[in-house]
Amino acid sequence: MRRMEARTTEALLARVDAAWQPFRRGVAALGPDQLVLRTDAGWSVKEMLAHVAFWEETVLNLLPPLLGRQAPDLADWYGGEGLDLSGDWAHYDVHNEREATWANGHTIERVLSRLDTSHARLTSLLATLTDEQVASQDIWEKVACETFEHYADHMAELEQRSAPV
């Protein structure tokens, strides 16, 4: 019989942290010259990091309405530039391409700052959730998709780099 995963605030924060720590250590282990190398996925590590930051930022915007809270203003939650939320939510490829373009126009220090800021803001928001809120399938799945599952998805890219972009 499969044991049901505990879905408490403490368990969620622990899952996020357990996946974040090796991901962030992997980033820190790379020198600036390695952050511009192309990954097997076709983008540079730097572009991938902007992508990860963006999807963490989406949780900051999309989670509050699920909790009956007001979503923050765009300027307060989005760390990049050029995001237009008028109309329907764009296909994920549109967002990913915009984030790669954004990363290429900024220093690695700015990209890393955005990554760390988005993560700190996300974990601060998650810490305000009640166990009952965390137990919600919608909330758990949204957070999982953009955090501990997402970091694992990109971990191999930190180790597989080839030519400069």
d(CA 159, CA 29): 10
pLDDT per position as a tens digit, 90-115: 788 888 899 999 999 999 999 999 99
pLDDT per position as a tens digit, 3-51: 457 789 999 999 999 999 999 999 999 988 888 888 888 899 999 999 9
CATH topology of domain 9-16+33-164: Four Helix Bundle (Hemerythrin (Met), subunit A) (1.20.120)
Domain spans in the chain, listed from the N-terminal domain onward: 9-16+33-164
d(CA 50, CA 27): 12
pTM of the model: 0.88
Phi, psi values for residue 105, rounded to 5°: -95, 5
pLDDT per position as a tens digit, 141-157: 888 888 999 999 898 88
